[in-house]
């Protein structure tokens, strides 16, 4: 589950709508899941931005998924539209990562379960950490191209040349 619980609120709705089997898993549980289920052969994520060399910026937590995929021998595939490819950004080190308000981590909002069961949708906020606790809240992280198996766009699948650590996104955009 990602910032704002996007996995629980958005992806868990979208995938079944498209008849794609889905199970909600906390990012911090993925390593244990991969260890317990050897049938999982790939992790597929999106990207908000793809640099010319294939480094990708996506919601915070993506980088750690790439690391655990590598450790467990899984493919790590990025699916993104070509509108996310930024050839003016040479590599991920050129991407500025926004730091968001710490209250987004320290305070959560949602609906009381009993109210939902009774048809009342009253949003409530809950302080989840002691008052005075500090939080670091980056919006994105950058996954290095060397941890990515393939990048999929509407134009096709991009793979690295044999022995290369980076992708040729410019070539992909030119249709090569």
Q: Which positions are annotated as active-site residues?
A: 48
85 contact partners, CB below 8 Å, separation of at least 6: 50, 153, 169, 172, 173
Instruction: Report how far residue 7's alpha carbon sits from residue 24's, in angstroms, rounded to the nearest whole number.
Output: 7
Alpha helices in 23-159 (DSSP H): 30-36, 62-71, 103-106, 113-117
Nearest in space to 150 (alpha carbons), one of 142, 161, 141, 160: 160
Determine contact, residues 121/87, Cβ cutoff 8 Å.
no
Distance (Å, rounded) from C-alpha 25 to C-alpha 36? 13
Residues pairing with 93 in the sheet: none
């Amino acid at each position: 589950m990602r910032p704002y619980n996007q996995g629980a609120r958005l992806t868990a709705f979208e995938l079944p709508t498209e008849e794609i089997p889905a199970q909600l898993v906390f990012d911090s549980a993925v390593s244990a899941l991969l260890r317990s289920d050897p049938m999982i052969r790939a992790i597929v994520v999106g990207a908000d931005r793809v640099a010319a060399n294939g480094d990708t910026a996506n919601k915070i937590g993506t980088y750690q998924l790439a690391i655990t995929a590598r450790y467990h021998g899984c493919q790590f595939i990025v699916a993104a539209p070509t509108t996310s490819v930024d050839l003016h950004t040479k590599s991920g080190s050129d991407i500025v990562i926004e730091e968001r308000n710490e209250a987004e981590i320290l305070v959560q909002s949602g609906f009381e379960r009993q109210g939902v069961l009774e048809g009342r949708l009253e949003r409530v906020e809950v302080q989840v950490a002691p008052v005075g606790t500090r939080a670091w809240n980056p919006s994105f992280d950058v996954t290095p191209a060397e941890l990515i198996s393939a990048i999929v766009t509407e134009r096709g699948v991009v793979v690295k040349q044999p022995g290369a650590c980076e992708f040729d996104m410019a070539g992909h955009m030119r249709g090569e």
